[in-house]
Structure 1
Amino acid sequence: MSWGSESYDTDDYHDNSTNKSRLTVPSGVSKVIVSGQARWDSNTSGTREILVWKNGSSAYEGRPFQHMGAQTYLTMQSFVSPVLAVSPGDYFEMVAWQDSGGSRNIESNVATWFSIQAVE
C-alpha cells in the first residue's frame, strides 16, 4: 500500500515522494512497534489479509498478520506488532491481499492507516 501523506512524522520515517509505501527506521532507533488498519470496500466474497513486510520480506520474527472472511458491510482489519528489534534503514510496508474473484479496494479513509512507534 502506498501512502501519499502523513498525519504525524517528526523523525522522517516516511517520504512522500520516494518509496511512499515505506516507513523507514531512522538513526538512533533499535526497537519499534508497527500497527495499522484497513477498511475494505463492501463485498461478501472471499477472504482479506493485511500483513507487514520488513525489508521486503514477510519472514521475520514477530510479523503482524490479520486474516478474515469478507463481511456483509465493510471489512475492517487491524494489527499491532510486538516490540520488534530494528536497525537504522530497516523499513516496513503494509501489504493487503484478497481472493473475492474481482477487484477490491481499500478505502482512502481516516479508518485506513499505518503507524510506527519508536520504543527504544
Structure 2
Amino acid sequence: MIYKNGVLVSVATAVGVGARVYNDSPFTVANNVYDTVEFNTESWDTDNCHDNVTNNDRLTCRTAGKYLLIAQIRWVGNATGYREMSIRVANGASTPRAYTQKSDLNANNCAQNLATIVDMAVNEYARVYVKQTSGGNLDIEGGKRYAPDFMMMKIG
C-alpha cells in the first residue's frame, strides 16, 4: 500500500504473479560442464512464466517488476570435487545474480539453495545453472516436491 500524507493512494497489484516448478525425475549433469536444470512439472504458474516442454529450463517474466527468485537442488552423494549452482537472468546475454559453491563434500547427498531479488523486464528469463567435478556424470535428485525446485514471485 502506498500512502501520501496519511491517505491511502494505491494498493499494489503484484500479489500472485509468478511460478513454481520442479523436475519429477533425476537430472544427469556431465563432469566439469555448466548445464541448465530442466523443470518438467509446475506446482503453479499464474502468468504463463513456464512451459513444461519448450525451454523448460526457464522462468520468463511476463509482467515487469521486482522478483524474488529461489532455487534449490540436491545432488546424489559423491565425495569427489565440488558442486556449483547459480541463478542467471538473461535476454540474450546471461548475467549471474546469485552463486554458491560447495567443496567440503562427503558421501552424503549435497543440497544447495539460492535466493535473490532482481528487477526483470518483460521477456527476460531466469535459469538455474549447475556444474560438478566428480570425475563422471552425477545426478541431481528428482521426483521430490522440494528439489530440484525453482520459483519466481513478483514482489514489487
Same-fold status (TM-score > 0.5): yes
SS of alignment partner, residue 95 of structure 2: coil
In the alignment, structure 1 residue 76 sits paired with structure 2 residue 111:
yes
SS of alignment partner, residue 72 of structure 2: strand
> Which structure 2 residues correspond to residues 1-120 of structure 1 after superposition, within 5 A?
1-27=37-63, 29-55=64-90, 57-59=93-95, 63-69=97-103, 70-81=105-116, 83-108=117-142, 109-112=144-147, 113-120=149-156
Cα deviation for residue 57 of structure 1 reads 4.4
Q: CA RMSD in A?
A: 1.4
Cα deviation for residue 12 of structure 1 reads 1.2
- Kept in 1: contact 2:87–2:114 (CA 8 A): no
* Structure 1 unpaired stretches of 5+: none
Query: What whole-Å deviation, never above 9, does each CA across 1:35-61 have from its counterpart, x for those lacking one?
Result: 11001011111100110121164535x
- Kept in 2: contact 1:52–1:58 (CA 8 A): no
- Kept in 1: contact 2:71–2:87 (CA 8 A): no
- Kept in 2: contact 1:32–1:84 (CA 8 A): yes
Cα deviation for residue 105 of structure 1 reads 0.6
Cα deviation for residue 4 of structure 1 reads 0.6
Report the TM-score when normalising by structure 2: 0.69
User: After TM superposition, where is structure 1 displaced by more than 2 Å over at least 4 residues in a row?
Assistant: 56-60
* Greater C-alpha Rg: 2
What is the one-letter code of the residue matched to 1:17?
Answer: V
Aligned identity (percent) is: 28
Counterpart CA distance in 1 for 2:106 and 2:155 is 34
Report the TM-score when normalising by structure 1: 0.89
Counterpart CA distance in 1 for 2:131 and 2:70 is 17
* Structure 2 unpaired stretches of 5+: 1-36
